[in-house]
Amino acid sequence: MALSVLWMESPLTRNSGRSFMSEKPVYVTTPIYYVNDAPHLGSAYTTIAADVLARFGRLQNRETFFLTGTDEHGEKLANRAKELGEETQAMVDRFAKVFHDSWKEIGISFDDFIRTTEERHREIVLHLMNKAIAHGDVYLGDYVDWYCVSDETFWTEGQLQGGKCPSCGREVKKLVEKNYFFKISKYTEKLLKHIEANPDFILPASKRNEVVAMLKEGVRDISASRTSFTWGIPFPQGPEAGQDRHVIYVWFDALVNYVSALDPLGKPERFKRLWPQATHLIGKDILKFHAIFWPCFLMSVDLPLPKRIFAHGWWTVEGQKMSKSLGNTVDPVQMSRTYGKDALRLFMFREFPMGSDGDFSMANFKARVNADLANNLGNLVSRTLNLISKNLDGRWKAPTHSAPGTEDVWESARQASSSITGPANAEETSMERFEYFNILQSTFSFVTSLNKYFDTKAPWTLAKDPSKKQELTEVLSSVAEGIRVAACMLWPFLPDTCDEISRRLGVKTPLSLRELGYGNLLRPGGAGAEERVITMGQPLFPRIQ
C-alpha cells in the first residue's frame, strides 16, 4: 500500500468536509422521578441512556443540555408524609436528595436537576395554564371515574381488571368531583397530522403506531385540576362559591418541567434554540402522557412540539417482574460501587435494542463484562501497553499511513464509525435515534478486529528479532492508535474506562480533544502524530468470578 494512501476516509467528513452535518443543540430529558422511591434499574436505564446522548453531544462540541429531576407533588406524597409525621416539603427535600446524590455517584452528567416544588417551575406552570385558559381550552365539569391513588390515574369502568387498577393492581376509588378539564379533543386531529408528517417524532415505530391507534379511537378530555388534595400548585382559577380549592393536576404540573427548566421567560434565546431539539426519553408506561397529553397542551399554549419522544422497554430481573415485594430490585448505586460505573452502562445497552424489553440476570451481566471489557478491550490494552513498554521504551506515535495487513482493521473502524453517525444523508446521527445496541455491536467488532490483527502479527515474536524492529513498531503503533479511536467511539458509553485508557496511552481524554472535530477523533491519525509516552497500570477490568 502506497505511503500516500491515507487512513480511512471519515464518514463524518465525506460529504461536506465539515465536522458533521448536525450542529444543532442536543437537549435530552428523563422523566422527573416520583420521589417516594429510590433509583432502581428502570430509572437508571432511562437516566444512563440520556447521559450517553448528552456525552455524545458534548464530544461533538454541540451545545448540550441534559435535564433530570424529581416530581414532588400529589396526594400519594402528602399521605406518605402524614404517615411519617413529617412536613411534606421536608420529606420531599429528603427524597429528592436521594435521587440527586445517587445519580451523581453513578456518574450521571446532568446539567440541571429540576424539582416541581421549586418556584422557577411553579411560575412557568401557572404561566402556561393561564395561557391555555385564555385560549378557551379549559372548562369546569364533573369528573366521575375510578381513580388509582398510586398511579394518579383515572380509569374507566371498562379498563379496570377485576375491579382493580389495571396498571398496578391496587384498589381504586370512585371519585365524583368538580374538575377543570383540558380540551384535549380540540388538538388530537392536529397531533395526528404532526405524527404523520414527522414519522420519527415518536420512536420506536411500534410505539408510534400505538399512539396513532389511541388517537384514532378518540381521547377523552382530561382533568387539569383536582380538589381531593392540596399538595400541589394551586389552580389559577377558582374556587367557585361553595367549592373546594383546585390544585393543578399532576401531569400538567410534571410535564411542564421540560419547559420550565430552560427558563423560557428569563432566557428566551436559549429557550428558542434548545426547546425544539427536545428529546424526551421515557419508559413505555408513560407514553400516552408524553405523546398525547403533552403535545396537545403545547399546541394549546403555542409552543413548538419536542423533536422526539422515545419510549424504551421494561426490565425483568432473572426472568421475573421487578418488584419490591419479590426483593429482586437491582440497585444501580450498589452495582456501581461493586463493579465500577461502566460495567452496568455497558450491559444495559449491549444486550438488546432500546425499544425492546429485556432481562437482567447476574450470570449474563458477568459474562458480558468479562467478554467485552476484561477479555476483549481490557486484554488488548494490557498486552499492547506491555509490549510498548518493554520494546519501544514506552513510546509510540500514530502511524502516518495504514500499515500492511491493517485493511480489515480500518474497514472495521469505518463501519463502527458509520454505525454511530448513521446513513450518509441522514438528518441526524444513529446515536440520536438511540441505536445504541447496533453501535456497541459494531464498535466491539472493531476491538475484536484489533485483537485479531495483534494475534496475526504476533508482535511478541517480532520483538525477539532485532531486524524486525521496524515492523514491530508499526504493529504496536497501529494497535495503539486503534485503541485511541475505539476509546473515542466508546466514550459516551464508558467514560471512566475510556478516560483511563487515554491516560495510559499518553493521549488527552476524548472530551478534551473535541476541539479537533468529532470526525477527527474517530479517524485513525486524526488526533495528531506526536510522540506519546504510555503509563502502565493494573488490569482495567479484572474478570468477575
> DSSP letter string over 448-496?
HHHHHHHHHH-HHHHTT-GGGHHHHHHHHHHHHHHHHHHHHHHTTT-HH
Out of 150, 228, 329, 441, name the contact with Zn ion by CB under 5 A.
150
165 vs 494 by CB, closer to Zn ion: 165
Number of residues lying near Zn ion (CB under 5 A)? 7
Out of 124, 165, 490, 511, name the contact with Zn ion by CB under 5 A.
165
Residue 151 CB, shortest distance to Zn ion, in Å, is: 4
42 vs 525 by CB, closer to Zn ion: 42
Dist CA 148 CA 161 (whole Å):
12
Q: Indicate whether 439 belongs to the interface with Zn ion (CB under 5 A).
A: no
Q: Sort 54 into a burial class: Cβ within 10 Å, 0-12 / 13-18 / 19+.
A: buried
165 vs 420 by CB, closer to Zn ion: 165
Residue 35 CB, shortest distance to Zn ion, in Å, is: 18
Out of 48, 129, 133, 148, name the contact with Zn ion by CB under 5 A.
148
Stretch that binds Zn ion, among 144-152, 227-235, 244-252, 301-309 (CB under 5 A): 144-152
155 vs 365 by CB, closer to Zn ion: 155
154 vs 444 by CB, closer to Zn ion: 154
Q: Indicate whether 167 belongs to the interface with Zn ion (CB under 5 A).
A: yes
Dist CA 426 CA 204 (whole Å):
17
Angle (CA) 510-512-513 rounded to 5° is 65
228 vs 391 by CB, closer to Zn ion: 228
Rg (CA), the chain: 26
- CA 445 from centre of chain: 23
Instruction: Kindly list the distances between the CA atom of residue 387 and the CA atoms of 217, 244, 473, in Å, as whole numbers in the listed order.
Output: 66, 77, 10
Dist CA 516 CA 526 (whole Å):
8
Q: How many CB atoms lie within 10 A of CB 456?
A: 10
Out of 151, 177, 210, 263, name the contact with Zn ion by CB under 5 A.
151
Residue 241 CB, shortest distance to Zn ion, in Å, is: 34
Residue 433 CB, shortest distance to Zn ion, in Å, is: 32
Residue 64 CB, shortest distance to Zn ion, in Å, is: 36
36 vs 386 by CB, closer to Zn ion: 36
DSSP 234: B
Dist CA 256 CA 124 (whole Å):
8
Q: Indicate whether 168 belongs to the interface with Zn ion (CB under 5 A).
A: yes
Residue 172 CB, shortest distance to Zn ion, in Å, is: 7
Q: Respond yes or no on whether the N-terminal peptide bond of residue 268 is cis (omega within 30° of 0).
A: no
Give the residues lining the site for Zn ion (CB under 5 A): 148, 150-151, 165, 167-168, 170
